[in-house]
Structure 1
Amino acid sequence: MELKAFALFSLLFGAGLAIQFDRLANSERRTFLLLRRLAVLLVFGVIHLCLIWNGDILTEYALAGFIVLPFLFGPRWLLTLAALASLALYLAMQAFPPAGLFPGRTAIWRDVMDANRIYATGGFLDVLAFRLREIPLIASLHAFVFLRTIGLFLVGALAWRSGILQNARGLLVIALPAICLGAALLYFGIEPLGNILLALGYGAAILFIASFGRGKRLLGWAAPLGRMAFTNYVAQSLIFGWIFYGYGLGLFGRLGITQALAIGIAVYVGQVLFSAWWLRHYRYGPIEWLWRTLMYGALQPMLLSRVEGVQ
């Protein structure tokens, strides 16, 4: 599941960036607004990375966004070429990892032992110091997948620009072959490409189902969760930080798979319910509202009117 979820998130972020780029087409401030949007995301990411959880993805997404944004001014063939080049280089890195990119086994094992001790028993300042010390190790992992992130951003943008996201038949044509081929590649151990194809297939299949009235009702429970993805992402870091770190319940490294899965599902269900309740009263999630306000440099409307609430 994990690498497909990362890939799907990258595809969605790229599509979202392209949607905003196109919707701001008549604005003279388009480039400035989108650059500021990414800059604000970068600030959020660095804060999240340093103070809450060093597994942060926001920082990488902001940096990748700065690289992808100029390509949105170009034609679709340029997006296609850049996406293929990025993903090809990423796949080449999987086959031939650059020397010295990752620390040795001894350093990794030492970090794991320290993490099990400090994260489970340390106070906030102890956890903070260790989290900052771990950043170089985490950075090497980000460097290893950075080209994939850029490539999938571009694929997501291309999916929006080509109109495939609004084409049910086209989505089905993508979903079935991508899932079948991706599963076959995983079966033969070709994971990097298999994961990407499966993510594409899953995403296309979900959109295909949601393109019908019955499918939209079936999946409608997830819409509020997705509209508040930024808020829910940060909230999960705060919740799980309290559950697992020493300044909270200190359960880091002490749970089995079943217990951890049960906690994860419980938090997820709670966020589904909370997101639905919140969006019955407000236009955006709290962090989405702050991000939008900082992007435009003006307070954005937050409360829903009665008419909007009824609709």
Structure 2
Amino acid sequence: METSLPLQQRERIFMIDALRGVALCGILILNMPFFARAYQLDFDWRVLNETSMRNIASWMVTGFVLGGSFRAMFSMLFGAGALLIISRLEKQSGLGAADVYYRRLIWLLVFGLVNAYVLLWPGDILYHYAICGLFLFPLRKSSVKLLLCLCLFFVCVNMFKSYLSNQEALVKREKGLAAMALEKEKKTLTEDQKGDLEKWKETIDKRKVENVKKEVEKENKAMLKSYPEVWKHLQSTNAKFESSVFYQNTFFDIMICILLGMALYKAGILTGEKSTGFYAGMLILGYGLGIGEGLLAGITWYNAQLNYYNYIEVWPIPFTLYDVHRTFVAMGHIGLITLLYKSGVFHGFLKLYAAVGQMAFTNYLSQSIICTFIFSGYGLGYFGQFERYELFYFIFAIWAFQIAFSNIWLKYFLFGPLEWVWRSLTYWKRQPMLRTRQVELALA
């Protein structure tokens, strides 16, 4: 049986790298508010009275226009990348491909744990990708139709869960208000009614701006302490995100996009094989429906003054459309980027992002390193010091740095530093690193 070898330079697909680079940059828009400020502030602009046009626009763009679209796109490309790697490995070594593929995932899981528990980023996605990736190998030969059906199944699961959550919240309010009315009438409450009243009062208190502000102040103090103290503070959050939250929510969230990415790759959509008209349709439909729904949701939340119960009473659909929204917007991104590529005018521009995508693993983890250094107490200590719109200054600066660094690095080296480490660990053999003429000819 032929020994499995790493992906060679000639086997890279430019469009996949370019799309991944754009997605990687875009993910920072979603993550930056959690790197830089208390998580309670991400959605709630009332706490710090961030009512200026710049802050509200930032809130709308981050949460509703773009939403999780770049993370969705990144997950799609993870699915596509898995198929690309598996198909190449199978040509070399048949079922031996599974050995390499699963070793690769195990090391990805380890790096995810490092990102969460060493770099102290609770928003790590690598650990989750590694676990979701375990399910992909058996699906490698699945038809596009089957993959889309599985994707739709997970979308329906998430919608049904959100429906149950909304109904549970409405029932809690109904019972709580009924018990509150009886209390005002000085009637004796049953034990159940007392429990209903207590739960409702806890919900009201938790949503009060002054109480949320106290939680924000506690989070600010905790995150501005020494490394051991921040580690201790985040330990329970990391454990929660990589256990109960993952199995209840994140698994479905990621699998939707991974399966869709596999389908899009098999259909030749992610590799730019369709017509210009096809990608123009993706752009128009994706942005039209996705951003349209996002703006409507954002305006509804704003008019409801972020009151959850007011929102679900007004919103015409009794379940979330988040998965649909971010998928459509991500498809719009793909359509736009592919049109830029097909125009022939933007190859140089996209080449900048292709380098970022080729070093996505290094760039993803370096975002954790850079941001925790800037904002945490054991770094520069800027946590909680900036308004919502000001975070975009840091986003743009990191984008510029990573684009420049990736392109300069790949002039001299074949892989990003952490890509090289990951490859060497996966194949348990030191991989070539320097971009010499002899090595490039051997890999060509």
Aligned partners of 1:4 and 1:196 also within 8 Å: yes
Q: Post-superposition shift, 1:111? A: 5.8
Q: Aligned AA for 2:267?
A: S
1:254 aligns with 2:321: no
What is the 5 A alignment of 1:186-265? 186-189=294-297, 190-265=321-396
Aligned partners of 1:91 and 1:193 also within 8 Å: no
Mapped partners of 1:6, 1:198: distance in 2:
11
1:129 aligns with 2:235: no
What is the 5 A alignment of 1:31-70? 31-52=98-119, 53-70=121-138
Counterpart position of 2:253: 148
Counterpart position of 1:167: 273
Mapped partners of 1:25, 1:161: distance in 2:
16
Q: Post-superposition shift, 1:59? A: 0.7
Mapped partners of 2:141, 2:329: distance in 1:
29
What is the 5 A alignment of 1:172-183? 172-183=280-291
Counterpart position of 2:9: none
1:138 aligns with 2:269: no
Counterpart position of 2:421: 290
Of the candidates 146, 156, 160, which is equivalent to residue 92 of structure 1? 160
1:274 aligns with 2:405: yes
Superposed CA offset, 1:4-42 (max 9, x none): 111111111111111111112222311111111111100
Aligned partners of 1:209 and 1:215 also within 8 Å: yes
Mapped partners of 1:77, 1:233: distance in 2:
32
Mapped partners of 2:72, 2:430: distance in 1:
33
Q: Comparing both structures, which one devotes a greater share of its residues to helix?
A: 1
Mapped partners of 1:45, 1:60: distance in 2:
8
Of the candidates 66, 76, 87, which is equivalent to residue 22 of structure 1? 87
After TM superposition, the structure 1 stretch with the greater mean CA deviation from structure 2, 138-147 or 232-241, is 138-147
Mapped partners of 1:2, 1:243: distance in 2:
24
CA radius of gyration, larger in: 2
Mapped partners of 1:146, 1:289: distance in 2:
28
Q: CA RMSD in A?
A: 2.6
Aligned partners of 2:109 and 2:131 also within 8 Å: yes
Identity of aligned residues (%): 29
Q: Aligned AA for 2:362?
A: T
- Which consecutive residues of structure 1, in runs of 5 or more, have no partner in the other structure? none
**3-state secondary structure, aligned to 2:386:** coil
Q: Post-superposition shift, 1:275? A: 0.8
Q: Post-superposition shift, 1:47? A: 1.3
Mapped partners of 2:324, 2:135: distance in 1:
22
TM-score (norm 2): 0.64
**3-state secondary structure, aligned to 2:350:** helix
After TM superposition, the structure 1 stretch with the greater mean CA deviation from structure 2, 78-87 or 134-143, is 134-143
Q: Post-superposition shift, 1:128? A: 0.8
Counterpart position of 2:178: none
Q: Post-superposition shift, 1:77? A: 2.8
After TM superposition, the structure 1 stretch with the greater mean CA deviation from structure 2, 177-186 or 35-44, is 177-186
Q: Aligned AA for 1:267?
A: I
Aligned partners of 1:50 and 1:132 also within 8 Å: yes
Q: Aligned AA for 1:66?
A: L
Superposed CA offset, 1:189-214 (max 9, x none): 34442222111121222123223421
Counterpart position of 1:118: 222
Superposed CA offset, 1:191-245 (max 9, x none): 4422221111212221232234212223222111111111011111111111111
**3-state secondary structure, aligned to 1:24:** helix
1:184 aligns with 2:292: yes
- Which consecutive residues of structure 2, in runs of 5 or more, have no partner in the other structure? 1-65, 170-201, 298-320
Mapped partners of 1:248, 1:302: distance in 2:
31
Mapped partners of 1:223, 1:136: distance in 2:
34
Mapped partners of 2:227, 2:139: distance in 1:
42
Q: Aligned AA for 2:231?
A: L
Aligned partners of 1:179 and 1:197 also within 8 Å: yes
Mapped partners of 2:226, 2:295: distance in 1:
44
Specify whether residues 231 and 113 from structure 1 end up closer, same or farther in structure 2 by C-alpha distance, changes over 3 A only: same
After TM superposition, the structure 1 stretch with the greater mean CA deviation from structure 2, 300-309 or 268-277, is 300-309
Mapped partners of 1:17, 1:172: distance in 2:
27
**3-state secondary structure, aligned to 1:247:** coil
After TM superposition, the structure 1 stretch with the greater mean CA deviation from structure 2, 296-305 or 271-280, is 296-305
Mapped partners of 2:378, 2:140: distance in 1:
44
Mapped partners of 1:196, 1:80: distance in 2:
13
